[in-house]
Structure 1
């Protein structure tokens, strides 16, 4: 079994007839899923998702895969295959199409409908090619066969990729719900058929690999949702992923049964549910959905609001309600139903939202106190089942943090896969399938690309460090007027402080630090303004660290007298 490879060199040229696999996202993280396959000089991409920022990434809206390794080969891309419509698999599509708009985008009906709406916001006209389970598509030198998989959004697909180097099976996100709400089960017969054909490389969803047994069915949620609707005395506010059509269907059915009207809140929720309804994936009883304005005039015990914000996103509707920044004012007796799982890293944000809502008198029903969510991912028992029917020659766990990837790899080994043929790697690590054996061949750049307002890739980790410093340590601006002839202070420097309260006489002592930094520079013949500012920032920063026990951002401004 392979280990982390932090010091790998760029890969050599791909051997003739071999297949190269590079995960540009989704390996060691939950999100940003993107896998690039290379064969006979052509590239096939599976998924292009986003990662949502954490607390230590202030101001960032989205995190994209790094396209650097394929940017000079855009014309070699024969297609972009999408396994399903969740943001962590399709959210980056518009940004890739900005690089080359006519890349064929292949996916199921619902997935492509969501991508089409997303591309409209970016003023793109994608080339879409709809497929269904059972279809085969020739993307020479790749042939793709699509298989139905059950997930927490309709129309999920696994993809079997046939090449001259071997057969690859990529599960996408899946589970083995035997009683799905849409009656569409994972095609285990198809998995077994491919296993008999001979799967040379199996890429498997790792998200729930640490969870024993089998993932419970969506139908098992019905009693908990029914209890919420039966006992809630006033409004019910449901938060969910804007793409979780199955869960929203359960909420709509419960609302209709209890005589409540429903309004969707949040742009993405309104858009996605409109698409799902238009395509027939969401069945809405007549006159159940009403505009928010109408709902606000109704009796509270006849109201259901369905909104975004289940992950504590600061700009989402539920977070704004918790902070009293939304037109919907949460009140005593309201019931909040948080019908989604917790994405790792969002725990603190979600806890803050729950506390905020509880403060205003709401009862918050969530996964921690009620059975109101089931995962969309296969647990350990399901993964073992798949390994046993597929019997792959090589395995590459995908879609998960390192602990998930490792747990998935252990399951593969326990079912009989040779440990030397189980490849566990980070984003950017290159895996080559040569003569039927998968091995690490090198590494390409696969860092974070930050979307910050309207800029893509301009914000760096250094900028984020400055933002964290501003938020946590404060900022000190040092204004120094320097005599152009002597290089020394022409007047006492000014210190402008933001973010903390210094002692009254603190900066009287700091004046000597500035004067010494300038004196040293003058003695060394340094007179460039930029270099003087760097020295002041360095020396004052060190002095403040010792004097205050904190490291504020120091912004020096040198003016020639």
Structure 2
């Protein structure tokens, strides 16, 4: 890895002390052949080749891409606009930032080009408002505003942490969007992963605006909206790379990138202040499965004309080198399928990784095997990919999972969900012998084609151990090259920085440590620390041709979805669930005479998740007598207020229980009056 250059100056951080921020995841072109494998080229050779390509492209390219209207999927009229709202900067007062962990010492209030105060005439500023996707992996959604026009890039969901008991998923807080609905001109989707499209059904219930995306992304969104009963009211519009759509005073240009799902794009946002480039999730793959490489020439062309600000994927900013090509996994599959002769093959991978599924299908066809699919999300994505032509397989290759027993085991490949060890996934149910249609035997050869997401390591290890106990042979990433990332590593990130040459830089899409690592990379290619801003969810980042700064905050954070409930589970409910899960519940039932306040029946004590009553009769009897004593004391003191009586019971009993057991169960008194 290149040695990081030392920079004079200070890096801007968007972290604030007093902010209100309360944040709590087509058809394939023919494959290319080349005399020299591009993946073997050094980064310097790639840069030289790209510069030559850039010079040729710039000479022939038009001054600006012509705005081409997107083809609507639905012909319903766009929603009516209301009276313009005030700009975001007026809604929240500016607050001073405080330093966070910094690549360079010190802090800066604003960032001016090259660390010097520019005398250029100011242009209309753009406000960038991330409502998710910073200091976390997931829940990606960012607002871009200029004047009275705004649009969103992505609208994703996040997965709950282990301590968010009962929560199904986390969506962004849409409060700011609801208050400024009249300004929003549309939603731009970069690709079809859940952390970029998963919250769309919840937003459309509040704000109905056009949604722009590539064919596969729109196809996956259609399926999601159909499940929620919202497809009929949605305005979905298909776009293609190199196309441009108008968003009020701004226009959005779509740029092809490589990722772990086909039809991924980055965007160049043309604004009165200048061009803002957002890479989306990307990697540089010179031998991609779908045949089209990332449009580096367009990134270079934009850089030659001047990029005001770059927002770039930071997921792998800590990893040196370059990300391995997806085609390498196909080579590994070929070797492993050959090795699994005579056995049934089961492959677990991400349901959205259509490139991976294509390579599994290709090798199954090569070795004369049929393919079956298990797992609801896998079935949905495979069906949609085949329908739209992104998964190219001959008729008859895929069979229903109910038919697998009609074929010899060595003629079957089963593609399944569960690569992250999710408790209810298909692979987890196979490992626990709980799958209704698949029983794992010593004749199974199982490939887990994924890397555990941080926090899922224990779940994956448990599944691997259970599969091994059943006698199966299990292959995973630490043993073989059966997975590659869909995100760029350090050399690729520096390549994009070098091609676009942005005046300002905002690392996005990652935890805080990823953003800091990406900021270091930006400094190493010559961007002054004062021109780099590590933002936070809810901050209003204003950028023009002179400076970039945080001017305020908007309401932002996470909203919990639990079953059909959206937002009705908050921190207090989660706290109670944790307490119930850790120490259980004690219910005290007493019958009180209305006139005298005397205890006429009980108190009776019921334990749930605390102790088994039949084995702790002495403890329960002591607790019952203590509650009776507390009620008698209330009676003697003339206390008739039920709240006071309940608190008296809780105080007396909680101290006793903790002294006896060192546990703090939830105590719930129930008073019945007669």
Q: Into which bin does the TM-score normalised by the smaller protein fall?
A: over 0.9
490 and 441 in structure 1: CA distance in 2 versus 1, 3 angstrom threshold? farther
- Of 277, 295, 299, the match for 2:386: 277
Question: Residue by residue, what CA displacement relative to the aligned partner does 1:17-74 show, whole Å, maximum 9, x if unpaired?
Answer: 3222121111111111111112212221000111122321222221111111212222
Distance 1:80 1:363 in 2: 46
Offset of 1:415 from its aligned partner?
1.4
Distance 1:247 1:77 in 2: 36
Instruction: Name whichever of 532-541 and 166-175 sits farther off.
Output: 532-541
300 and 435 in structure 1: CA distance in 2 versus 1, 3 angstrom threshold? same
Q: Are the equivalent residues in 2 in contact too, given 1:22–1:37 (CA < 8 A)?
A: yes
Distance 1:26 1:526 in 2: 53
Question: Residue by residue, what CA displacement relative to the aligned partner does 1:403-436 show, whole Å, maximum 9, x if unpaired?
Answer: 1111111111221112122111222222121453
> 1:533 is matched with which residue?
646
> 1:225 is matched with which residue?
333
Distance 1:452 1:104 in 2: 27
> 2:492 is matched with which residue?
382
Q: Are the equivalent residues in 2 in contact too, given 1:215–1:375 (CA < 8 A)?
A: yes
> 2:444 is matched with which residue?
334
- Of 420, 430, 445, the match for 2:530: 420
> 2:269 is matched with which residue?
161
Q: Verify: 1:36 aligned to 2:149, yes or no.
A: no
Offset of 1:528 from its aligned partner?
3.9
Runs (5+) with no aligned partner, structure 1:
none
Distance 1:478 1:556 in 2: 5
Q: Verify: 1:108 aligned to 2:214, yes or no.
A: yes
Q: Are the equivalent residues in 2 in contact too, given 1:109–1:130 (CA < 8 A)?
A: yes
**Higher Cα radius of gyration:** 2
Offset of 1:512 from its aligned partner?
5.4
Task: Map residues 464-543 of structure 1 onto 2, 5 A cutoff.
Answer: 464-487=574-597, 489-501=599-611, 503-511=616-624, 513-515=626-628, 518=631, 527-543=640-656
> 1:248 is matched with which residue?
357
Distance 1:78 1:537 in 2: 54
Q: Are the equivalent residues in 2 in contact too, given 1:201–1:395 (CA < 8 A)?
A: yes
> 1:297 is matched with which residue?
406
> 1:560 is matched with which residue?
673
> 1:75 is matched with which residue?
182
> 2:172 is matched with which residue?
65
* Secondary structure, counterpart of 1:55 in structure 2: coil
Instruction: Name whichever of 171-180 and 54-63 sits farther off.
Output: 54-63
Task: Map residues 337-416 of structure 1 onto 2, 5 A cutoff.
Answer: 337-416=447-526
Distance 2:634 2:519 in 1: 58
Instruction: Name whichever of 341-350 and 103-112 sits farther off.
Output: 341-350
322 and 114 in structure 1: CA distance in 2 versus 1, 3 angstrom threshold? same
RMSD between aligned residues: 2.2
Offset of 1:485 from its aligned partner?
4.2
- Of 434, 438, 441, the match for 1:325: 434
Q: Are the equivalent residues in 2 in contact too, given 1:47–1:81 (CA < 8 A)?
A: yes
Offset of 1:560 from its aligned partner?
2.2
Offset of 1:323 from its aligned partner?
2.3
- Of 424, 430, 437, the match for 2:547: 437
Q: Return the structure number with greater relative CO, CA threshold 8 A, min gap 6.
A: 2
Distance 1:512 1:25 in 2: 53
Task: Map residues 111-150 of structure 1 onto 2, 5 A cutoff.
Answer: 111-125=217-231, 126-150=234-258
> 1:462 is matched with which residue?
572
Distance 2:544 2:520 in 1: 23
* Secondary structure, counterpart of 2:316 in structure 1: coil
Offset of 1:200 from its aligned partner?
1.6
Distance 2:538 2:285 in 1: 32
TM-score (norm 1): 0.94
Distance 1:143 1:137 in 2: 6
Offset of 1:504 from its aligned partner?
3.2
> 1:48 is matched with which residue?
155
* Secondary structure, counterpart of 2:365 in structure 1: helix
TM-score (norm 2): 0.79
Offset of 1:148 from its aligned partner?
0.4
Equivalent residue pairs, number: 560
- Of 189, 194, 209, the match for 2:302: 194
Distance 2:625 2:218 in 1: 65
200 and 542 in structure 1: CA distance in 2 versus 1, 3 angstrom threshold? farther
59 and 324 in structure 1: CA distance in 2 versus 1, 3 angstrom threshold? farther
Q: Are the equivalent residues in 2 in contact too, given 1:226–1:254 (CA < 8 A)?
A: yes
* Secondary structure, counterpart of 2:144 in structure 1: strand
Question: Residue by residue, what CA displacement relative to the aligned partner does 1:171-193 show, whole Å, maximum 9, x if unpaired?
Answer: 11000011111121111111111
